[in-house]
Structure 1
Amino acid sequence: MDKILVIEDDFKLQKYIKDYLEAYDFEVELVTDFGRVVSQVEESNPDLILLDINLPTFDGFYYLRVLRKKSHIPIIILSARSEEGEQIRGMEYGADDYVTKPFRIGILLAKINAVLRRAHHRMEESHSAGDLKLLHDSMKLQCKEQVVELSKNEFRLMHLFMKNTGGIVSREELLEALWDEHVFVDDNTLTVNITRIKKKLSLYGLHNVITTKRGVGYVFDPSNR
């Protein structure tokens, strides 16, 4: 049973969401003390968070930024702020979806199910190459018992490299993996991120696993040490 944590200060809406989702076999917890939102998230360890923007003390964007530094729990924003800029802001800060109020509860349920399906798929999915394992649920890279954090861009590049172990991956493919409609990506961005990945791989003693094929792209081969 998936657990959903509702961070919403409209108590009537809170109850409506809770009653509806429990009818569909979700476990639902409510935040009632808005002075300890982050600690309750950590204690609850939910599978998904519904996050209002207009909250007491701090707004939802603040909590979204704080939570994204700590975890990759799926977060759906609920907000009366329907402006395009606000929705873009929410997605840039790491929200998985953005639902504007008023909303139909059936639409919210469909979005919850879609986000959870993607999250479950990421958790089930992993890529391995030699002693390396890419952990999709936490965006980390593991080698034996050692684990390092990856940025979003580093994760995307490692995902592509490990899917094509031993083969040439072109710079165009790598740039496409980094493409983001909200952030400009150029050749220098790619070079910087590959340099960072190489530095992290070197922590495992893997100094030559990514080699350059001049004018073509790169080859990832963990057998090259």
Structure 2
Amino acid sequence: MYKIMLIEDDAQLCELVKENLERYGYEVELPIHFSKIEEEFAKINPDLVLLDINLPYYDGYYLCRSFRQKSNVPILMISARSQEMEQIMAIELGADDFITKPFTFDMLHTKIKATLRRVYGEYSAKEENQNCAGSLCLDEKTLILEYEGSRAELSKNEYKLMKKLMENEGTFVSREELIEEVWDSVTFVDDNTLTVNMTRIKQTLAKLGLSQVIKSKRGVGYMLEIPAGIQHD
């Protein structure tokens, strides 16, 4: 999951952009204090920065130059200023691209994807290898479960079970379906084997800060249910 630092003082626009990007599986971080943005940038260590020009304390040009002196992180400048000279200045100070307000979310996402692909390699490969339910993501190649920056590695069987639950998020999956998903046969698998694996998954989710998101119902099966407060999809 790519981490984007969004630096924008328009609270309404900021919330809309954050919500939209999280739907695409990005982790979006917002500054807490505009007077300490440089410190927060170092702490967040983002994969990409969306940076407005008109900001309190320091303008976007100053911050762009400051970030570029410390990091090669891609920077997309955002501004209602449409003059060519403004865009040239942003690029010369180290910005990778310039987005003029008002913009559509499709255009914003397209520019973000293109920049990430150019800087980090093939964007689609990382995106396609992940299954996400809200901010909870599961990586197919590494078997790593990630939630809000915290990570945990699953066993191969735990990964298969978690993937099945995430693909059916909000719906109960029968014990038989889960067993067949992992062991191919219900006949020769002890029912307790599934229970043990599900217990381990629940413990892992709890360590990530997601307690009781897997529900079980006797005679029905298991269901992954992400609470509304952390569901972004």
TM-score, with structure 1 as normaliser: 0.53
Q: Equivalent residue for 1:52?
A: 52
Following TM superposition, the consecutive aligned residue runs of length 4 or more in structure 1 with deviations greater than 2 angstroms are: none
Output the CA distance in 2 between the equivalents of 1:104 and 1:43: 30
| Alpha-carbon distance, 1:16 to partner | 0.3
In 2, Cα distance between the equivalents of 1:97 and 1:32? 25
- Match in the other structure for 2:99: 99
Q: What's the counterpart of residue 3 of structure 2?
A: 3
**Paired letter, 1:121:** G
Could you list the per-position Cα deviations for residues 174-207 of structure 1 after superposition, in whole angstroms to 9, with x for gaps in the alignment? xxxxxxxxxxxxxxxxxxxxxxxxxxxxxxxxxx
Superposition deviation, residue 47 in structure 1: 0.3
Give the corresponding residue for 1:28.
28
Q: Which residue of 2 aligns with 1:131?
A: none
**Tell me, what secondary structure is at the counterpart of 1:28?**
strand
* % identical equivalent positions: 50
Over the residues paired in the alignment, what is the CA RMSD in angstroms?
Answer: 1.1
In structure 2, distance between residues paired with 1:64 and 1:28:
18
Q: Distance in 1 between matches of 2:69 and 2:45?
A: 15
For 1:19 and 1:121, the matched residues in 2 are separated by 25
Larger radius of gyration: 2
CA–CA distance in structure 2, aligned partners of residues 71 and 9 of structure 1: 23
What is the Cα deviation at residue 96 of structure 1? Answer: 0.5
State the partner residue of 1:157: none
Query: Structure 1: 5+ residue runs without aligned partners?
Result: 123-225
SS in 2 for 1:94: coil
- C-alpha displacement at 1:32, in angstroms? 3.1
Residue 83 of structure 1, CA deviation: 0.3
Residues 96 and 115, structure 1, Cα contact 8 Å, conserved in 2: yes
Aligned to 1:19: 19
Q: 1:184-203 maps to which residues of 2 (within 5 A)?
A: none
- Secondary structure in structure 2 of the residue aligned to 1:14: helix
AA partner of residue 27 (structure 1): E
Structure 1 contact 9–32 (Cα < 8 Å) conserved: no
3-state DSSP class of the match of 1:99? strand
Figure out how many residues of one structure are paired with residues of the other and give that number.
122
Q: Show structure 2 runs of 5+ residues with no match.
A: 123-233
Q: What is the alpha-carbon distance in structure 1 between the residues aligned to residue 84 and residue 25 of structure 2?
A: 33
Per-residue CA shift, 1:47-101, capped at 9, x if unaligned? Answer: 0000000000110000001111101000000001110000000001110000000
Which SS does the other structure have where 1:32 is aligned?
Answer: coil
Opposite residue 69 of structure 2, the aligned amino acid is K
Which residue of structure 2 lines up, in the alignment, with residue 115 of structure 1? 115
Partner of 1:152: none
